[in-house]
Amino acid sequence: MKRFSFTLLSILFLSPMSLLAKSGSSEAGLFYSTSWGSGVMGGYNYTNEILLGGDFAAGDTSTESEGPGTSIKSESTFMTVNAFGRYYLRDLGITDGLFGQAGLAFRNWTGKGSIIDDRTQAKIASIKIDWSPVVIVTGVGWQKVWDFGLIFSVAMNASIGGSRTIEYTENMHRLSDSMKKDLEKKTDYPTNLVIYIGYSF
């Protein structure tokens, strides 16, 4: 089974790229991103080189951990609508399918967390995070389109121009600088790997 899968993947990736992604064609598919959740993406090939696209992604994370006599609970939700333009470098030989893209992402992201004393259920401290609703997203990636219309792409995106507000509330405990730095680092998503599988029509 493993050998079959490997052979199939080799054929798929080594086969010549089709010209299905040509002017006037469209595409749609599903994607997974390492930071922003998963969602649907669609696009229209305005020319052979230029694709106008949009996507919607949603995701959430929740964590629950135990400290010494405390419970730490956090949850974040991410909903993102992204409109972008993509430019393909079609005539670079082996790099055919390489693209760069830029666009605007409209975000509805929120995060909150609290530290609760296990014995008394008293709130020790809490955290609230808000992200700005609009951010510029740029990226580079590589796409492959097969004759039968299947599209695979992988891209690395970066967000620029956004802002994030973290509100710490201390009830019975002062949050240390190191704890704050750690949280700030973990809730920053400067880059985002996106893996996409779609269909060209």
Partner 1 sequence: MIKYIFLLFFSIFLLSGCGDELSTSTTDDSANITKSLLTGTWTAKCSDNTTGLASSKTVLVFSASGDNLTATTTNYSDKSCVSDNQSSVFTKKLKTLDLGSKTTTSQNQIINKFTAAVTDITLEPKTTSVSTSLNLSSFCGLTGWGSGTETSVAGLTCGSATYKSVNDSYFDIIQMNSEKTFIRLGNITNPASTGYPKTLYTQEYYK
Give contact residues for partner 1 (rule: CB under 8 A).
69, 87, 89, 91-92, 98, 100-102, 117, 119-120, 122-123, 131-132, 135, 138-140, 156-160, 162-176, 180, 184, 188-191
Which of 73/123 has CB closer to partner 1?
A: 123
Query: Closest separation between CB of residue 113 and partner 1, Å?
Result: 14
Which residue lies nearer to partner 1 by CB, 147 or 167?
167
Tell me whether residue 182 or residue 184 sits nearer to partner 1 (CB atom). Answer: 184
* CB of 105 vs partner 1, minimal distance in Å: 11
Whose Cβ is closer to partner 1: residue 7's or residue 23's? 23
Q: With respect to partner 1, which residue has the nearer C-beta, 26 or 70?
A: 70
Q: How far is the CB of 128 from partner 1 (least distance, A)?
A: 10
User: How far is 108 from 134, CA to CA, in rounded Å?
Assistant: 9
- Closest separation between CB of residue 172 and partner 1, Å? 6
Residues 6+ apart with CB under 8 A from 201: 25, 26, 27, 28, 149
Pick from 61, 100, 60, 53: which is nearest to 81 by CA?
A: 53
Give the integer Cα–Cα distance in Å for 105 and 111: 18
Report the nearest approach of partner 1 to the CB of residue 190 (Å). 3
> How many angstroms from the chain centroid is the CA of residue 126?
27
**Of 9 and 92, which has the nearer Cβ to partner 1?**
92
Phi, psi of 12 (to 5 degrees): -60, -45
Q: How far is the CB of 114 from partner 1 (least distance, A)?
A: 12
Instruction: Tell me how far CA of residue 78 lies from CA of 81, 176, 178, in angstroms.
Output: 10, 27, 26
In whole angstroms, give the CA distance from residue 89 to residue 48.
Answer: 10
Place of tokens 């949850």: 75
Q: CA-CA distance, 39 to 82, in Å (whole number)?
A: 11
